[in-house]
Structure 1
Amino acid sequence: MFISLIYVSHSLIAREAQEAEIDSIVTGSVERNARLGVRGALLFTEQHFAQLLEGPETAVEEVMERIIEDPRHDQITIIERKPIDGYRFPDWSIVYWGNASYMDRKIATVLHKQDALNQAGQTAQLYELIQRMAQGSHDRDAPIGRPSTK
């Protein structure tokens, strides 16, 4: 079974270390995700992460376990986990967007919402933006990433 999972989290990376740390995250993810058959999109806003992962359930869970153990962030909140029919981002092992500070309010809202109905709406908006970015139809920041090794 394939699943799609979206999480948001609060970054603990010091501003002066962000470029090197994000490069390390992306570089490590490209190889690991391709090997595991996981696809996804990562958004970083200097204060928050939002990531959509998709692929075989056991592989996505393995990646998520590593993410949860990563000391570079906390307040990790899985906001959506659902079965899917197949890859929606088949050409990427990871797609990354940085300097997306305009997204900080949306991610912070999702992290701190107690109202399930309102959070569902915010989650849908976040998913739609990540999907548009991964499909190349968002004009804010160009994605950085590498095609998967199918």
Structure 2
Amino acid sequence: MDGSLLYVSRRTSSDAEVRNIVETSLARNARLRVTGALVVSRGRFAQILEGPRTGVDTLMESIRRDPRHADVEVLLYDDIERRRFAEWTLTYSGASVYVDGLIGALTERTTPLPHPGDVHRLTHAIEELARARL
């Protein structure tokens, strides 16, 4: 069974480095049979990865070691029967106050666990942005 993982992180990369992340990810994700959507704002990343758990876990290990990410936090990791993203999709939102606010609500919270409503709003926004880019 496939898994679906949502993580957020603080962006420590330039726009050129983000383009490199995308280019590198296309081949690596295909090799690992992982699909998903990445949202990038000025200061943060949010990404949904879907696929075999071994592939998703391999990617997450790489992301946690990547100096272009800081404060990586997995918010959700569930089994799924069907993927939401048929192919790798990149949605880039460089100056989006809305996306930055959604991610900020999750990364700057004062509770140990994220509020389910905040997770749902971010997941829904990623799905809508990815759908608009297809």
* Structure 1: distance between partners of 2:45 and 2:77: 17
Pick the aligned partner of 1:109 from 101, 105, 108. 105
Counterpart of 1:36 in structure 2 is: 32
Call closer, same or farther: CA 1:46–1:85 in 2, change over 3 Å. Answer: same
Counterpart of 1:4 in structure 2 is: 4
Among all aligned residue pairs of Structure 1 and Structure 2, give the percentage whose two residues are the same amino acid: 36
* Structure-2-length-normalised TM-score: 0.91
* Structure-1-length-normalised TM-score: 0.81
Runs of 5+ unmatched residues, structure 1 = 137-142, 145-150
Query: Are 1:61 and 2:57 counterparts?
Result: yes
Aligned length: 133
| CA RMSD, Structure 1 to Structure 2 (Å) | 1.7
- Which one-letter code corresponds to 2:4 in the other structure? S
Q: After the TM superposition, which segments of 4 or more aligned residues of structure 1 sit over 4 Å from their partners?
A: none
Runs of 5+ unmatched residues, structure 2 = none
Q: CA deviation at 1:11?
A: 1.1
Show the 5 A alignment for 1:1-150: 1-13=1-13, 18-90=14-86, 92-102=87-97, 103-115=99-111, 119-136=115-132, 143=133
1:17-76 Cα offsets, whole Å, 9 max, x none, are x22101100000001101111001111111000001001111111111100110012111
Q: CA deviation at 1:135?
A: 1.9
